[in-house]
Amino acid sequence: MNLISKKDLLAITGISYGQLYRWKRERLIPEEWFLKQSAYTGQETFFPREQILSRIKSILDLKDIYSLEELAKILSPESSVEKISVKDLMEVEEIDQELLEILPEVFDEDRFEFFEVALTIAISQTAKRIGLSQEAMKNLLRKSAAAAMQLKTVNIFCTVFLIGEEYHAVFTPNLVAMNFDNEIEMKEQLPLSEITDSIKIKYKHLFIK
Amino acid sequence: MKGLKLEGVGRVSGGEYDSIKLEGVSSCSENIKAEDIEIEGVFTCGGEVEAGRMYCQGVSDFKSNIRAKKVIVSGVFNIKEGAKLEAEEISCEGVIRTGGEIYADVLRADGCISAREVYGDNITIETHFPVNRIVKLFKTSKSDIKLIEATTIKISGVTADTVNGTDITIGPNCKVNSVDCSGTLYVDSTSTVGSITGNYAIREYGQP
């Protein structure tokens, strides 16, 4: 996992210790992103680099528009968000419209949790980036939904890989280095939380109670 | 919602309250949430506590996390190892003891704080000599903290492994193993500090 130390984080973003800990206390930064590790100076705290930098940018961009309480609702993965219908999801341009028609079959319901929406966006964006056919994209969502649902949090990484002509996905709590044999090709690794921050902000009226 | 006042010996049921006032010996094994909690006797709580204001001038033992807007301690506040105390503001004239973490925007203590880690924005811990009545009763004369990390830190009578901050004032009678400072630093001549790192400027006492 690509990590950044707390000291470097404060230096790069210009935030203070007080802001960092206030935002942690307000649940704007998930506790599991604070990774304590041994360093030559003793114990040091590190963060997953992409996730924390993206989150702090979101907080800095929005802190003058929303109160910390409102921001926590927007950014916290635990915040209560409305279940959303296929009709409303048509507004979300990050979702490939082809996936919308199979959502009730994949998730076995008519209204979808935010986590399910995030997964659908992740698969849509991955398909676009690596040039999946529509059928391969639908199959990937069908296959990956059950595995992702077992973790049921947006604080996970989605890794997509290709075996022969079949695409598969694996979900892990952290970004882990994966060494596959030469018949498996890794195609994409992305944190779901990176998607959810921007989606919640962009479609606040759909997701936030 | 409801108010609760206990004067004798009793148990507090979990749930939501407007206010809780405990004057006798009481305990609770479930989570409680209240706008105002006052503890004047002895209270043991196994569940999590969420409060607006929490005032303790008795002796309380908490086994789980505490989350409040304001915490005022003039008695003794024990928190089990691993549990967290989180508040916007903490004021301590008594004793706070925890093997866990304390988070506060503002922490002002002239009593004693014994904790593994204290994090926040503005942390002032000045454990005075001679110590006050409550502190003396519990035979604690120095605050002992493994790590203090905050934007502004002012300590005296504190033993700490590590102090990291922007502006740090290490007043009298402190013993600190390592300091990392990125702003201004003052170290009193009666205090001992091991290593000092960071891009800091030495400041005279009393200077901003």
Instruction: Using an 8 Å CB-CB cutoff, list chain A residues near B182.
Output: 10
Instruction: Using an 8 Å CB-CB cutoff, list chain B residues near A16.
Output: 121, 151, 166
Which residue reads 């928190």 in tokens? B79
B166 with A42: Cβ contact below 8 A:
no
- Its pTM stands at 0.80
Size of interface A-B (CB pairs under 8 A): 42
At A1 the pLDDT is: 64
CA distance A185 to A179: 10
What are A159's two structure tokens? Answer: 């890794």
Range 5-34 of B in CB contact (< 8 A) with A: none
Summarize the confidence of residues A30-38 as an average pLDDT.
88
Summarize the confidence of residues A67-92 as an average pLDDT.
80
Which of the pair, B42 or A201, is modelled with greater confidence? B42
At A41 the pLDDT is: 64
Q: If pLDDT is split at 50, 70 and 90, which confidence band does B18 have? A: very high
At B133 the pLDDT is: 59
Domain ranges of chain B: 2-156
CA distance B95 to A69: 31
pLDDT > 90: percent of chain B: 84
Residues A129-156: pLDDT tens digits?
999 999 999 999 999 998 888 887 777 8
At B2 the pLDDT is: 84
Instruction: Using an 8 Å CB-CB cutoff, list chain B residues near A18.
Output: 105, 120-122, 150-152
At B206 the pLDDT is: 62
| Statement: residue B138 has pLDDT above 60 | no
Q: Is B121 on the interface with A (CB under 8 A)?
A: yes
At A12 the pLDDT is: 96
Parallel/antiparallel/unpaired status of strands B175-181 and B192-197 = parallel
If you average pLDDT over every residue of chain A, what do you get?
87
B122 with A21: Cβ contact below 8 A:
no
Residue ranges of the alpha helices (H) in A26-133?
49-62, 68-75, 86-89, 97-100, 103-107, 114-130
CB atoms within 10 A of CB A142: 13
Mutate to test the interface with A, among B151, B181, B196, B197 (most CBs of A within 10 A): B151
Q: Is B180 on the interface with A (CB under 8 A)?
A: yes
Residues A194-206: pLDDT tens digits?
788 788 888 878 8
Residues B60-70: pLDDT tens digits?
999 999 999 99
Lowest mean pLDDT among A58-67, A165-174, B124-133, B191-200: B124-133
What are A99's two structure tokens? Answer: 């996936």
Residues 6+ apart with CB under 8 A from A183: A163, A164
The partner residue sitting opposite B150, judged by closest CB among A7, A17, A25, is A17
